[in-house]
Amino acid sequence: MPSISVQDFANHFHDDAVVILDTRDHSSFAEYHLDNAISMPATSVPNRFGELAKDKTYFVLSHSGRRSEVLANFLVNKGYNAVHVIGGMRAYRQAFVAVA
């Protein structure tokens, strides 16, 4: 299963073939999420993965990257193009979001 650093992940935001799949819970997603991200909490992925298109690439995010690694692997095994974002949203925010 492919993985990508948050720095390289940031280069793909405007690619129409890419979808950001945020697997954090709804409250974490509501607190902060990336534009164009879709919310699919980790616990719902096994039941909802059929909603995803196989012609897209999914960058899978979780809070710290542990769950997203498992979920990206799950999606790859189901025939989807999924990429694990190393470090998850925590690493992304540390790298790119200024803390006031």
Q: Per-residue pLDDT tens for 6-44?
A: 999 988 877 877 899 999 999 999 999 998 899 999 999
pLDDT at 100: 44
pLDDT of residue 12: 85
Tell me what pLDDT residue 84 has.
Answer: 97
Domains of the chain plus CATH, in order, are 3-96 (3.40.250.10)
> Among candidates 16, 21, 31, which has minimal Cα distance to 83?
21
Q: Provide the pLDDT for residue 99.
A: 54
Note the pLDDT of residue 15: 80
pLDDT tens for 39-98 read 999 999 999 999 999 999 999 999 999 999 999 999 999 999 999 999 999 999 999 875
pLDDT for 48:
97
